Amino acid sequence: MLLTWVMWFSALCAAALGCPTIITRSQWGGRAPTSRTQLSTPVPYVIIHHTAGTSCTSQASCSQVVRGIQNYHMDSNGWSDIGYNFLIGEDGRVYEGRGWSSVGAHAYGWNSNSLGFSFLGTFSSTWVPSVRISPARPRGELGIPPA
């Protein structure tokens, strides 16, 4: 049901609303996860992070940054995959991490009932550019049950 809703929404969004492009794992060159845990949806929370690292402004540079994050999470942290469900680049694209249906590794104690989005770059003392906030909003709302 969720997959049908996501596919329908994505088609409508792309055709009518000009929503952001989702770059799939294969498009950014992601490694296969070593394991996955199914996420029970819909989730009540969306958790927003920043990567506290390099910003990027093109699909090529953002893909390289996302691959680096995945390598760090898997090789240094020993995680099964990149920690976030989705990442958002300064290029306005959304990069698929664990996706809609896998539990993330982004917020200890909250992973099993949330989706984790991360803005690529450091935003400790500056605001996230508005071009990147728009892509986060409609995607995150899909994981939140209606009020």
Structure tokens at 89: 């680049």
Separation CA 130–CA 92 (nearest Å): 10
Each residue's pLDDT, cut to its tens digit, for the chain (147 residues) gives 444 444 444 544 554 456 788 999 999 999 999 999 999 989 999 999 999 988 899 999 999 999 999 999 999 999 999 999 999 998 889 999 999 999 999 999 999 999 999 999 888 777 666 555 555 554 444 444 343
Q: How is the chain split into domains, by residue range?
A: 20-141
Class of domain 20-141: alpha beta
CA dihedral angle for residue 2, residue 147, residue 127, residue 85, rounded to 10 degrees: -20
Q: What is the pTM of this model?
A: 0.78
